[in-house]
Chains A and B, each alone.
Chain A
């Protein structure tokens, strides 16, 4: 079983729509969680960290469910520029290594 699993999508949504997707992780001792964004095989860029209480950054909302071991990302009022692959990333419990999901592709159309 992969450490981090994501629905690959693609999610094709019109501008202004809301889109949400999850990822699951297998290691219950994982400590830190992130969403990264990757464009066209460029380097991943940190979108936001995910905290236990859930957190919001503008149009982006992240939730963490430790009991069910899943993380979610919701994008409100989608913009064309939100088109990208979103990577779910989990930091292992006892070292600083990161485990990446394969990514969820989002395409926002005009």
Chain B
């Protein structure tokens, strides 16, 4: 089945530094990548949507200059949390949607395994 590899799974960084999270689709072409954030006991909240080769679309309230998204190829999307602060500590997870016509279009979306970010 479709697999999305997300790295790192866990990262601890100092306040003010930047952290890059990668999501790679291993056996399909991810035309669209969704990036979510989940705080404890809360739902996954969509941060942004990226399509290969174009600028990401950010949800209301998400700072595009703080959360940089790059989707340069059909198999790789990255999220960079710039100048991280403790309030950015969260579980970040990507979800890929494949090329039109694949079963994943309608049966769900392929999620990465998530990145737990702790900013100290």
Contacts and interface: CB of A to CB of B under 8 A. Distances in A.
Interface of A: 4, 8, 32, 34, 36, 41-46, 49, 87, 96-103
B108 A49 contact: yes
B60 interface: no
Given A43-B113, A103-B43, A96 B97 contact: yes
A98 B46 contact: yes
B49 A44 contact: no
B107 to A, nearest CB: 6
Nearest to B109: A98
B120 interface: no
A34 B111 CA distance: 14
Given A42-B113, A96-B97, 6 more contacts: A43-B111, A44-B93, A45-B111, A49-B106, A49-B108, A98-B34
Contacts of A100: 36, 43-45
- Range class of the B interface residue count: 20 to 34
A53 B50 CA distance: 33
B112 A43 contact: yes
B114 A43 contact: yes
Contacts of B106: 32, 49
A71 to B, nearest CB: 15
A46 B38 CA distance: 17
The 4 closest A-B pairs by CB, nearest first: A46-B108, A102-B43, A43-B111, A100-B43
Given A42-B114, A43-B113, A97 B108 contact: no
A35 to B, nearest CB: 10
B111 A44 contact: yes
A90 B6 CA distance: 24
Nearest to A88: B43
27 contacts: A8-B41, A32-B106, A41-B38, A41-B91, A41-B114, A41-B116, A43-B93, A43-B111, A44-B44, A44-B93, A45-B111, A49-B107, A87-B43, A87-B44, A96-B32, A96-B105, A97-B46, A97-B49, A98-B34, A98-B109, A100-B36, A100-B43, A100-B44, A101-B43, A102-B42, A102-B43, A103-B43
